[in-house]
Amino acid sequence: MSDRIPRMTYQQYRAARRLVHECCNYDGGNCIALDDGEPCPCVQSISYSLLCKWFRAAVLPLDAALFSALFPRRGVKRCAECDAVFIAGSNRAKYCLDCAKRVRKRKEAERQRKRYYVSTHLEGKKPL
Q: What confidence tens digit (pLDDT) does each residue in 41-82 have? A: 888 888 888 778 888 888 888 888 888 788 777 677 889 999
Report which of residues 36 and 94 the model is more confident about: 94
The answer, yes or no, to whether residue 106 has pLDDT greater than 90, is: yes
| Torsions phi, psi for 21 (to 5 deg) | -70, -15
Report which of residues 16 and 126 the model is more confident about: 16
> What is the residue extent of each domain of the chain?
10-63, 74-123
DSSP track, 12-53: HHHHHHHHHTT-TTEETTEESTT-SSS--B-GGGT-SB---H
pTM exceeds 0.75, yes or no: no
Instruction: Give the per-residue pLDDT at 101.
Output: 95
Instruction: Give the per-residue pLDDT at 99.
Output: 95
Instruction: Give the per-residue pLDDT at 124.
Output: 57
| Torsions phi, psi for 41 (to 5 deg) | -65, 150
